[in-house]
C-alpha cells in the first residue's frame, strides 16, 4: 500500500476519528453534565466543558440517596460471582485440559457449557424466584452472586482452557514423577502459573456481574445493586438529570478502572465470551 495516495491515508484517519468521536462523545457528555450545577445544567447553549465544576450531584447521590450502600451491594455480589465462577470454571477447565473422561465426555461437557452461554437462563428466572424464596436466598447478595456466577461459568471455562493449555506440561509431569499427587500439582504448579489468566477472568466476571440488570432487579429488590439504583433515579414524575448523570458515572468508573488494569487479556476475554448486556 506504500504507493497509495496520501489522500487515502488521510481519509482513513478522518474516518476513524469520526468513529471515535461518536463512540466517546456520549461518555464524555455524561461526565461533563454530572459536574454541572442546576443553573449551568439548563443553560443554552450548553457549555461544552463545565465552567463551574461542582461535586453537588455526587454528594446528593452518596449522602442523601445512599449510593454508598448500593455500591457495597454491587461489590459483594460481584465478588461472590467472581470467586464462585472462577473457582468452579477453572477447576472444570483444568480437568478438561488435562484428563480424558470416558465416552467423549470432554466434548459433551464443553458443548453443554457453550449452550449455557448461548441461552442465558431467562427460562430459569421465574422458577429461581420461587426456589430462592423457599431456601431463603431471595433478596440476598449471595444468591444473586451465585446466579451471576453461573451465567459466566462458560466464559471462565473457555478462557481458562486456553490459559492452562499454554502452561508447559513438563513441569507437572516432573512433579508427578517425583511422587506428588495430581491435586498437589494443580495447587502448586498449575494455579500459580495460570495466575494472570485467573486474574483476567476474575475481572471479566466481576464486570459482568456489576453490570447485570434483569436478575438483580427481580431476585434482589431489597439489596439493590448499582444498576437498579441508577434506573431507580428515573421516577414517573421528575427526573433530576444532574443526579442521574452522576449516578451513571458512579456506576461506570470502577468498571473502567478494572478494564484498564487488565487490558492485555481483556480483548481475549471479550472475544471469547462477550460481556454484553
Partner 1 sequence: MAIRIRAQEAARVRPVSARAPWWERNLAWLLVAPAIAMFALFAIYPTASALLFSLSRARLIRGSLERTYIGLDNFRRAFEDPLVRQSAAFTIKWSLSVTAMEVLLGLLIALLVSQLARGRGLITSLLIIPIIMPPVSVAVAWRFMYDPAFGIFNYLLNLVGLGDVYWLSDPDVATYALMAVDVWQTTPFVFLLLYAGLISLPRDPYEAAAIDGASPWFTFRTVTLPLLKPVLLVVILLRVIDSARIFDKILVMTRGGPGSQNYSMTYTIYQEFIPKFDFGYTAALSFLFQLSLVIVATIYVRRVMADYSAPAE
Q: Which of 143, 145, 197, 248 binds partner 1 (CB under 8 A)?
A: 248
- Distances in Å between the Cα of 133 and the Cα atoms of 25, 51, 129, 145 are 43, 50, 6, 15
Identified binder of partner 1 from the candidate list 61, 62, 128, 190, rule CB under 8 A: 128
SS3 track for 68-100: HHHHHHHHHHHHHHHHHHHHHHHHHHHHHHHCC
The answer to whether 223 touches 139, Cβ cutoff 8 Å, is yes
Chain centroid offset of residue 92 CA = 21
- 7 alpha-carbon distance from chain centroid: 41
Identify which range of 54-62, 63-71, 159-167, 192-200 contacts partner 1 by CB under 8 A. 159-167
From the list 35, 78, 230, 240, which residue makes contact with partner 1 (rule: CB under 8 A)? Answer: 230
**235 makes contact with partner 1 (CB under 8 A):** no
Q: What is the full DSSP assignment across 13-49?
A: HHHHHHHHHHHHHHHHHHHHHHT--HHHHT-SSPPSS
Binding letters toward partner 1, positions 48-87, x by CB under 8 A: ---------------------------------------x
Site string for partner 1, 198-217 (x = CB under 8 A): ---------x--xx-xx--x
What is the C-alpha separation between 217 and 67, in angstroms, rounded? 16
Using rule CB under 8 A, residue 38 touches partner 1: no
155 contributes a contact to partner 1 by CB under 8 A: no
Grid cell 456489576 in the structure block, residue? 210
173 binds partner 1 (CB under 8 A): yes
Under rule CB under 8 A, residue 174 binds partner 1: no
Window of 55-63, 75-83, 164-172, 190-198 that interacts with partner 1 by CB under 8 A: 164-172
Min CB(106)–partner 1 separation in Å: 4
- DSSP letter at 180? -
Binding to partner 1 in span 103-122, by CB under 8 A: 106-107, 109-113, 116, 118-122
Q: Which is nearer to partner 1, 3 or 64 (CB)?
A: 3
- Figure out which of the listed residues 57, 67, 80, 89 binds partner 1, where binding follows CB under 8 A: 89
- Of 5, 7, 39, 44, which one interacts with partner 1 (CB under 8 A)? 44
If one asks whether residue 188 binds partner 1 (CB under 8 A), the answer comes out as: no
Residues 11-30 as x/- pattern, contact with partner 1 by CB under 8 A: -xx-xx--xx-xxx-xx-xx
Residues 6+ apart with CB under 8 A from 34: 57, 58, 242, 245, 246, 248, 249
Which 8-state DSSP code applies to residue 111? H
C-alpha cell at 213: 440488570
Amino acid at each position: 500500500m506504500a504507493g497509495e495516495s496520501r489522500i487515502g491515508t488521510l481519509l482513513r484517519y478522518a474516518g476513524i476519528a469520526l468513529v471515535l468521536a461518536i463512540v466517546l462523545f456520549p461518555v464524555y457528555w455524561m461526565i461533563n453534565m454530572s459536574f454541572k450545577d442546576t443553573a449551568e445544567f439548563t443553560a443554552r447553549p450548553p457549555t461544552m466543558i463545565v465552567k463551574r465544576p461542582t461535586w453537588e450531584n455526587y454528594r446528593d447521590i452518596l449522602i442523601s440517596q445512599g449510593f454508598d450502600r448500593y455500591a457495597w451491594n454491587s461489590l459483594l455480589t460481584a465478588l461472590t460471582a467472581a470467586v464462585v465462577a472462577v473457582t468452579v470454571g477453572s477447576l472444570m477447565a483444568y480437568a478438561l485440559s488435562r484428563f480424558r473422561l470416558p465416552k467423549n465426555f470432554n466434548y459433551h461437557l464443553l458443548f453443554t457449557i457453550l449452550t449455557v452461554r448461548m441461552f442465558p437462563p431467562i427460562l430459569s428466572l421465574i422458577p429461581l424466584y420461587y426456589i430462592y424464596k423457599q431456601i431463603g436466598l431471595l433478596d440476598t447478595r449471595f444468591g444473586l452472586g451465585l446466579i451471576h456466577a453461573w451465567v459466566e461459568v462458560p466464559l471462565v471455562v473457555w478462557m481458562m482452557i486456553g490459559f492452562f493449555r499454554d502452561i508447559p506440561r513438563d513441569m507437572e509431569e516432573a512433579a508427578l514423577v517425583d511422587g506428588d499427587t495430581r491435586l498437589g500439582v494443580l495447587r502448586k504448579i498449575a494455579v500459580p502459573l495460570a495466575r494472570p489468566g485467573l486474574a483476567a477472568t476474575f475481572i471479566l466476571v466481576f464486570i459482568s456481574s456489576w453490570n447485570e440488570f434483569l436478575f438483580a432487579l427481580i431476585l434482589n429488590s431489597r439489596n439493590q445493586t448499582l444498576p437498579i439504583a441508577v434506573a431507580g433515579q428515573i421516577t414517573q414524575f421528575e427526573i433530576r438529570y444532574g443526579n442521574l448523570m452522576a449516578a451513571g458515572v458512579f456506576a461506570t468508573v470502577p468498571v473502567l478502572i478494572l478494564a484498564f488494569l487488565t487490558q492485555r487479556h481483556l480483548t481475549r476475554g471479550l472475544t471469547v465470551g462477550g460481556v454484553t448486556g
